[in-house]
């Protein structure tokens, strides 16, 4: 399902699978579990890069360079595809050790309940939202 463009002021994507090809190389089993034995042939169907059109809303992608759950190349490829059609895409890459975290995609503050994003990620998202109001 797609929302009308006028209803979307911007998109924030945190450690996304922006292009399934690098993720498939790293975690092919998750695709086989979802899409069966022919998952490799269906990658283009599930590729968000094919949805990159201009004009589209501005996009912010945050992704750890050391992410071992979703490879950063997945986000980089989407950012490049979105920019290639004239879209605005800010790519915020960071090192997992920049701030203590609880693992996963290296996005959560340690010992905070309910979960809160790391301060530097929250700051980047806040700046993005303010600049696209």
Domains of the chain: 5-18+52-131 (3.40.50.1820)
Triad 124, 130, 133: Cα angle to 5°: 135
Per-position pLDDT tens, the chain of length 133:
467 777 888 999 999 999 999 999 988 888 888 888 888 888 888 888 887 777 789 999 999 988 888 999 999 999 999 999 999 999 999 987 766 665 566 788 888 888 888 899 999 999 999 998 8
pLDDT for the residue numbered 111: 83
CA distance 42 to 121: 33
Q: Positive or negative CA dihedral for 97, 106, 92, 76? A: positive
- Stated pTM of the model: 0.86
pLDDT for the residue numbered 39: 87
């Amino acid at each position: 399902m797609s929302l009308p463009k006028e209803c979307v002021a911007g998109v924030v994507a945190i450690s996304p699978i922006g292009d399934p090809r690098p993720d498939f190389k790293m975690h092919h089993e998750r695709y086989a579990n979802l899409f069966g034995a022919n998952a490799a042939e269906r990658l283009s169907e599930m590729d968000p890069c094919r949805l990159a059109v201009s004009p589209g809303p501005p996009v912010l992608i945050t992704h750890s360079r050391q992410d071992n759950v979703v490879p950063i190349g997945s986000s980089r490829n989407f950012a490049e595809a979105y920019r290639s059609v004239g879209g605005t895409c800010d790519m915020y890459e960071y090192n997992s050790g920049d701030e203590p975290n609880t693992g996963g995609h290296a996005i959560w503050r340690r010992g905070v309940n309910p979960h809160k994003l790391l301060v530097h990620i929250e700051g980047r998202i806040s700046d993005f939202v303010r600049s696209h109001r």
